[in-house]
Amino acid sequence: MIPLPDLQIYLQPHMTLIFGSLVFSARRSERITLLLRELHWLRVPERVTFRLCVLAYRCLHGTAPAYLAESLHRTSDDDTRRRLLSADSAMLVVPSTRRSTLGDRAFPVASARAWNSLPSSVSNAPLLTTFRSQLKTVLFRSSFDND
């Protein structure tokens, strides 16, 4: 999971509840989980993971800005990792960081970790629309199956 500032995690569900209650004309006292499930919306951490993975997909397929695409590297492109099992997969190299508060939030680190956590059936999707659909399904299930 991507480390988010506490304020963002605190405020986002309140805004989602407000928008969800507008759509359903629900009371503010109703549980947000039921509204999110009904609307098929992702929770905040899963939404962040979704955005990072879509950006990583676009970087790997050449449709993202060059400054972002240059920051991601496949394990198969690394000469020192060619003999590893991960070299045959679609995994990305996770750069090392000095500070867990800021360094782990950097795009190359956060997107590589999010990408590497995906099942291979999702990360090997041929089209962006297929990838987005499969990714949202995986994240939605992981988010709401535990409730």
Query: For 50-77, what is each residue's pLDDT tens digit?
Result: 999 999 999 999 999 999 999 998 887 7
With beta carbons less than 8 A apart as the criterion, state whether 33 and 144 touch. yes
Confidence at residue 91, expressed as pLDDT on a 0 to 100 scale: 87
Low-confidence ranges of the chain (pLDDT < 70): 1-32, 78-89, 100-101, 146-147
CB-CB contact of 135 with 54 (8 Å): yes
* Residue 88 tokens, joined: 């045959």
Structure token digits, residue 71: 């920051």
Please give the DSSP secondary-structure letter assigned to residue 23. H
pLDDT of residue 129: 96
pTM, rounded to two decimals: 0.76
Please give the single-letter amino acid code of residue 112. Answer: A
Which DSSP string corresponds to 32-77? HHHHHHHHTPPPHHHHHHHHHHHHHHHHHTT-S-HHHHTT--BGGG
